[in-house]
Structure 1
Amino acid sequence: MGQFIIDFSNWIWDTPMLLLLMGGGFILFAYSGFLPFRHFGHALKVVRGKYDDENLPGQISSRQALSAAIAATVGLGNISGVAIAINMGGPGAIFWMWISAFVGMATKYFTCTLAIMYRGKDTQGTVQGGPMYVIEEGMGKKWKPLAILFSVAGVLGLLAIFQANQLTAVLRSVLLIPNGLDNGETTKWVLGISMMIIVAIVILGGIKRIAAVASRLVPFMVLLYFATVLIIMFRFYDQVPAMLWLIVEDAFTGNAVMGGAVGAVMVIGARRAAFSNEAGIGTAPMVHGASKNNEPVREGLIAMLGPFIDTVVVCTLTALVILLTGVWQSTDNDGVRLTLSAFEMGLPGIGKYLLMVAVLVFALSTMFTYSYYGHKCFNYLFGAEKAKYYNYFYLITIVGGAVVSLEVVVSFIDGMYAVMAIPTMISTIYLAPKVKAATKEYFGRVRK
């Protein structure tokens, strides 16, 4: 079964998926008139809360929506996902992650603008947003099979098994194994059950509690991680330009992977960027669709900051630490263990503990937000009255994620993300003219 999951993931992420996300995203980037570059400053003004109105329909503020979305994206994809990208595709994979991020800013602008334009209501009359509602409300009932496909893949692909797996690996590597306290499989089960209890306390309180916790955790975890990474970079500051050049050079030579297969490096970079910032996958529109905002364009502008913060900033910092310390060439570690080696070499004695704290906060905040995403997909499929049962399913799978292998976990999530991207990108490209018209009208009012 594990090998089937791996083979399916590799097959679906071949050229067609690369063309859908990267090619479709570039079309949206150009069609918008390169909006992420032209209106980046205005997006920063909006996210400061200048236009917030508590009386508008929705459940959370736009800033809370961005915090919750970033809590789901700025996480282990930036710590473990970057390590996996370098391990599989060499430094050049990071360059293609950058390209995916800039393209992803446009994709997220379109998808999250549509999430406000075409909100629907669940069976209890609560206003909801997300690709499934965009498809049904914006494209019509005949397209509902696409909405169902997205929701089914979302129920499965938005489980916290990757976060549980990597958090377990860090806690064992840093605290338990060095002190002779690790009992193998038994330890994994104990850690998995402990994580399940912590996550249950937060997610059973609904989106308002999730958003409140995320808006407090996100700034803390980003600052802690930034500070640690910058200290390590300062120690190797003279090598930073050379490492940046290595990323660019390797992107077009593919020397570190498959005998110079540049296409393979592009695929690896795109896969890891999709997992890291989730642009085009359809997750962020679900939480942005719940914000108290009646200006679709304004919500899209806020949302497009996510891929920039996540991939261009945070992923680059992680990559530089791994490259500067040289651990990517001198160790067989993969995933979060590779990043752990880099932090330990960069800050001997305390580096691994600082990363452990960051991973703990990153993983938990992502688990909180993913539960909301999956809950919304389940809500759409089976009705709001039955959606509460999803949380129990979600919590049980956390334990499973803690004990299975990393390769199977990554392949399963990658495969489901690819399936989610198909209806998301089809609906976004189909409805793109609606977004462009709304953009022109909005900035016309802003200029006046």
Structure 2
Amino acid sequence: MKVNEMKASEIQDMSKAYNLHSWSVQGPLKPKVMAKAEGVCFWDGDGKKYFDMSSQLVNLNIGHGNQKVIEAIKDQAEKLAFASPAFALDVRSLLAKRIIDMAPSNMGKVFFTLGGADANENAIKIARLFTGRNKIMSRYRSYHGATYGAANLTGEPRKYACEPGIPGFVKFFDPYVYRAPIDFETEEAATAYYIGQLREQIIYEGRNSVAAIFMESITGSNGVIIPPKGYMKGVRDLCDEFGIMMVCDEVMTGWGRTGKCFGVNNFDVEPDIITFAKGITCGYVPLGGTIVSKAIAKHFDDHFLSCGLTYSAHPIGCAAGLATLDVYEEGKLFDNANAMGAILGDLLETLKSKHACVGDVRYIGLFSAVELVKDKATKEALVPYDGDPDKLMPKINGMLSERGFSTYTHENCIIVAPPLIINEAELKEAMAIMDDVLTIVDETML
């Protein structure tokens, strides 16, 4: 049996027989077969078309089948397929410089990784090495990866498999205003409350023991939680006050997802460390990285950097990264994310006003979530946190998929994050599918 000669049913059966699939009980699985893809769509093994409304795993920013990136991969594979990270290469040097040129002005150097989890692992080590401190603070509604250190950064249920955890990891609460215990009159009032709570916790933990505060610049899979006005500056001020490294996880929000190069650019704040992955190559080949400030980079001029990966700064990944940045620039995709994001925002607000099951919608650029509730007045979630006994969210996702809208759900939220190349007609056609499905949810699940 050869590739391209297998039937869809054979592919699915072999996958179940020999592959362990992520985040799943294996027995009931019927993994969808993806046969081909182009632009914002893909087709399954039976020829059914789907709008890719989550950009796979919020990484396929440039869409499927971009020939410029594919050709860059081919060319680099023929020229030099691999070289140890110890060597200086044209693609490594050029990509690192280009990233620093696009990053906040205080950034100095890049340590390349294979993905977001190991970018965060190395950021933990760098923060500890630079500060000489051991504690790392991160938020409850966060996901930073599934490797052991990144899983200890993570605050939501996917961390449970790595517990009991590593000493020194401390959690704090998100500025999740929609579900706050206080009815704040303004965003600034919410910021004052949450920053005050965080400052108190830092003091209780030992003001000289905290090496870093890790945050997704905008919380991703846990609900696209956008910080209230002044919050990010408030965290920056706390970090400056106590000598703590501010680390922004830009694995999802980096490379135009929010309409700006990095999510943190929306808040006029410069962190000490930025981690990235996903949109730098859009999944065409693996690549991630940890960007450090000029001050941190200078520290390692005469201090040992205890970080290393066999596949760090892989030549093919770097070549793909350079081509991907060209695609963003040539296609003005950050601008398109802003333009289409405005349209998506209007569509989401319409869904919120129309459907009883929609408690809240949150959006910035082409990064959004629809939060489902049983009751708008009480804000009771459609499914409880870390529990869905009736499998309502998989049922809703299944209804979307049956109608050609591919995405994923987490807790009681549906993620909507299409490729940055999407146009208005495609966006409206896809969101009409969600409208239909939410009507069914209103009628049958509330």
TM class, shorter-length: under 0.3
Length-normalised TM-score, structure 1: 0.27
Between structures 1 and 2, the one with greater strand share: 2
Q: Which structure's CA Rg is the greater one?
A: 2
Q: Which structure is richer in relative contact order (CA contacts within 8 A, separation 6 or more)?
A: 1
Length-normalised TM-score, structure 2: 0.28
